Amino acid sequence: MPNSKSSPSHRVPRVAIIIMAAGKGTRHKSKHPKVLHEVGGKPLLAHVVAAATKVVPAPDVFAVIGHEADRVRQAVADTGISFVLQAEQRGTGHALMVARDALAPYDQVIVLSGDAPLITPETIRKLRDFHGAKRPAMTILTAQLQDPTGYGRVIRKGQRSPDVRAIVEEKSATPAQRKIREINSGFYAFDAKLLFEHIDNLSDENPHGEYYLTDMAAILGKAKKRVMAVAASSPDEILGSNTRAEMVEIDQRMRVAKCRQLMVDGVTIFYPQTCVIDCDVEIGADTVVEPFVQILGKTSIGGDCRIRSYSVITNSVISDGVSILPACVLDGAQVMKGATVGPFSRLRPGSEIGENAHVGNFVETKKTRLGKGSKANHLTYLGDAEIGAGVNIGAGTITCNYDGQQKYTTVIEDGAFIGSDSTLVAPVKVGKGAYVGAASCITDDVPPDSLAIARANQIVKEGWVKAKRASRQKSEKPVLG
C-alpha cells in the first residue's frame, strides 16, 4: 500500500522501492540463488532490504523474486516487505514490467539491485531527494570506477552535463565507450507514471536477448523526457556481486568497516584483518578481541570482556566482564557476568553459564544451566542438566542424558560436590550440599547433605606382586653366554 493518501497537489510523493532479486546468478556457478549467498554473515538481499526499509515503510519495499522464489521469499519474509513474482527472468526491464500493477499507485519508484549490498540508506535518500527536487523522468546513480569492466557505461549529453543520453551495456559498447569510467550502479529513481507509459518500448534485441532496464534512458530521452545522473558518495557502495571473487571482496569491505565501527565505539580488536565479525554483532566498550577470532550471527558481547584467539562464537549472548579463553566454540549459548570459559570449551545451544561460573578445558555443555559460581573445570559432558549455585563438578564427570531413544534431565542442587570421573545416569537428582564419591555411577537420587559412593570396593592383596615375581624367576631358564 502507498505510504501517503493526501491530495495530489500538496502531498509528499509516494515512494516505493523495488529490489531486483529474481535472477539465477549464472556467473556465481552455484545451485543456490545468488541473492542468498552471504556477505558479512547474511544474504546479499538481506543487506539491501535492511537499507531500503530504513528509507520507506517495509510494505512499500518490493522484492522481485523468480529463481527459487520460495527460498528467497523465506529468507527476508520476517522484514514485512512485499513481493512481486517474475516467473520467467527476461531481464531487468522485464522485472519492472511484471511489477507494473504493484507500483502503479506510487509517484516515485526507486530501483535497487539485490546483488549490491553495500548501498546505504543515506545514498538511497540522496537519490530520492535529488529526483524529487529536479523531477526528471529517470535519475541514474552513477560512480567513477578505476576498472569499469562489466558495468553499463553512462553516456552523458555533454562532458559536464547533468543529463544522460543513454546507458550502454559492456557487451554492446564500442571500444571508445568502454573507455568511459562512469558506470551505471543499477540504482535508479523513476517517475512511476512516465516509466510505465514508456516501458513497453523496451526491446529484447541485444546480445543477451533480454529486456534491459538500462535502455529506458535512451527511450525516455527520445520521448523528450529528462534523464539525469547523480554520483554516489562513495564508489564502493555500488559494488555488485556477479562472481565469487566480487562477493568475497564485498565481504571483506563490510568486515573491515564493521571492525572500524566497533573500534570507534571503544572495542579493541588486535589484528582486525584476521578476525571475522558479522554485521549484526554487538560488542560493548573496553572489550578486547584477540587475533583469529570469529564472532558470528546475532551475537552480543558486553563490555570489559576478553575474547582470546581462535574462538568461534555464534548467536550467543555474553555479559560484561566475561573471559573467553583460547579456542572455545560457543553456539546459542548465554554466559553471565564475570564467568570464565575455556580454553577449549564447547558450549552448545541452550547452555547458560551463570555469574562468575567457570567452564574449563574439554568441557562440553548442551541445554544446561550452570549456576552462579559453579565450576566444571576439566574434561566433562553436561547435557540436559540443571545445576545450581556453588556446585563443583569434578574432572571427567558425565551426565548420561540419552538412552538411545529419549533425553533425560540431571538435577544437581546448590553446593553439591561431584567427585571426578562420575557418571550421572539421568533422570537423576543430587540434592543440595550432597557429595558424590569419585568414579561413582549414580543411578538413584542422592538426598541433600548425603554422600553417595557407587563403585566397586577396593581390594588389596598384600605381597601378591612379590610372590608372582619370585615364581616367574624360578621358571625362567638361565641365559647362556
- Known catalytic residues are 378
- Phi, psi at 52, each rounded to 5°: -65, -40
DSSP 307-370: E-TT-EEES-EE-TT-EE-SS-EEES-EE-TT-EE-SS-EE-TT-EEPTT-EEEEEEEEES-EE
List the grid coordinates of 108.
Answer: 516515485
Out of 16, 20, 347, 363, the only residue in the binding site for ligand UD1 (CB under 6 A) is 20
Question: Is there binding between residue 115 and Ca ion (CB under 5 A)?
Answer: yes
From the list ligand UD1, Ca ion, none, partner contacted by residue 183 (C-beta under 5 to 8 A by kind): ligand UD1
Which of Ca ion, ligand UD1, none does residue 95 bind (CB under 5 to 8 Å by kind)? ligand UD1
Toward Ca ion, which CB reaches closer, 92 or 108?
92
Interface pick for ligand UD1 out of 91, 338, 383, 390 (rule CB under 6 A): 91
- Positive or negative, the Cα torsion across 265, 269, 271, 272? negative
Q: How far is the CB of 93 from ligand UD1 (least distance, A)?
A: 7
Pattern of binders to ligand UD1 over 170-209, x per CB under 6 A? -------------xxxx-----------------------
Question: Of the ranges 66-74, 213-221, 232-240, 404-412, which one interacts with Ca ion (CB under 5 A)?
Answer: 232-240
The option from Ca ion, ligand UD1, none interacting with 21 (CB < 5 to 8 A, set by class) reads: ligand UD1
Q: Which of 83, 106, 190, 212 binds ligand UD1 (CB under 6 A)?
A: 212
Bridge partners for 168 per DSSP: 153
Instruction: Give the separation between CA 175 and CA 157, rounded to whole angstroms.
Output: 19
Nearest approach in angstroms of CB 152 to ligand UD1 is 2
Q: Considering beta carbons, is residue 96 or 336 the nearer one to ligand UD1?
A: 96
44-52 and 69-76 are packed helices; what angle lies between their axes, rounded to 10 degrees? 50
State the cell numbers at 32.
Answer: 543456490
* DSSP code string of 200-230: GG----STT-S--GGGHHHHHHHTT--EEEE
- Residue 68 engages Ca ion in binding (rule: CB under 5 A): no
Q: Which residue number, 185 or 392, has a Cβ lying nearer to ligand UD1?
A: 185
441 burial via Cβ count (<10 Å: 0-12, 13-18, 19+): middle
Residue with cell 500500500: 1
Euclidean distance between CA atoms 341 and 359, whole angstroms: 5
Single out the segment in contact with Ca ion by CB under 5 A; choices: 41-49, 70-78, 237-245, 465-473: 237-245
Could you tell me how many residues of this chain bind ligand UD1 (CB under 6 A)? 30
The shares of helix, strand and coil residues in the chain, as percent rounded to the nearest 5, are 25, 30, 45
Complex with ligand UD1: residue 202 or 434, whichever CB lies closer: 202
Nearest 5°: phi and psi at 297? 65, -140
213 binds ligand UD1 (CB under 6 A): yes
**Closest CB to ligand UD1 among residues 67, 258:** 67
Site for ligand UD1 in 107-166 (CB under 6 A): 113-116, 151-152
**Residue 131 main-chain phi, psi, to 5 deg:** -65, -40
With CB under 5 A as the contact rule, which of the stretches 61-69, 124-132, 238-246, 468-476 interacts with Ca ion? 238-246
Q: Which of 214, 345, 380, 397 binds ligand UD1 (CB under 6 A)?
A: 214
The answer to whether residue 396 forms part of the interface with Ca ion (CB under 5 A) is: no
- Listed ranges 81-89, 107-115, 124-132, 457-465: which one lies at the site for Ca ion (CB under 5 A): 107-115
- Long-range contacts of residues 169-174, Cβ cutoff 8 Å, at least 24 apart: 169/206, 169/207, 169/212, 169/214, 171/206, 171/207, 171/208, 172/206, 172/207
Shortest spacing between CB 226 and Ca ion, in angstroms: 26
Angle formed by the axes of helices 44-52 and 121-134, nearest 10°: 50
Query: 392 near 408, Cβ under 8 Å?
Result: no
- Binding ligand UD1 (rule: CB under 6 A), the pick from 14, 15, 23, 232 is 23
The only residue of 114, 240, 302, 371 in contact with Ca ion, by rule CB under 5 A? 240
Q: Is 401 in the site for ligand UD1 (CB under 6 A)?
A: no
Interaction between residue 384 and Ca ion (CB under 5 A): no
Strand pairing report for 38-39 and 42-43: antiparallel
Nearer to ligand UD1 (CB atom), residue 118 or residue 412: 118
For position 351 contacting ligand UD1 by CB under 6 A, the verdict is no
Nearer to ligand UD1, 21 or 61 (CB): 21
For residues 320 and 339, is the Cβ–Cβ distance under 8 A? no
CA–CA separation, 47 vs 236, rounded Å?
Answer: 15
Q: Which of 36, 64, 84, 250 binds ligand UD1 (CB under 6 A)?
A: 64
Q: Shortest Cβ contact with Ca ion: which residue?
A: 240
The residue among 242 and 351 lying less far from Ca ion, judged by its C-beta, is 242
Whether the CB-CB separation of 386 and 414 falls below 8 Å is answered with no
Residue 250 corresponds to which cell in the numbers above? 564485498
105 φ/ψ angles, rounded to the nearest 5 degrees? -70, -5
Residues at the contact surface with ligand UD1, assessed by CB under 6 A: 20-23, 35, 64, 86, 89-92, 94-95, 113-116, 151-152, 167, 169, 183-186, 212-214, 240, 242
Residues at the contact surface with Ca ion, assessed by CB under 5 A: 115, 240, 242
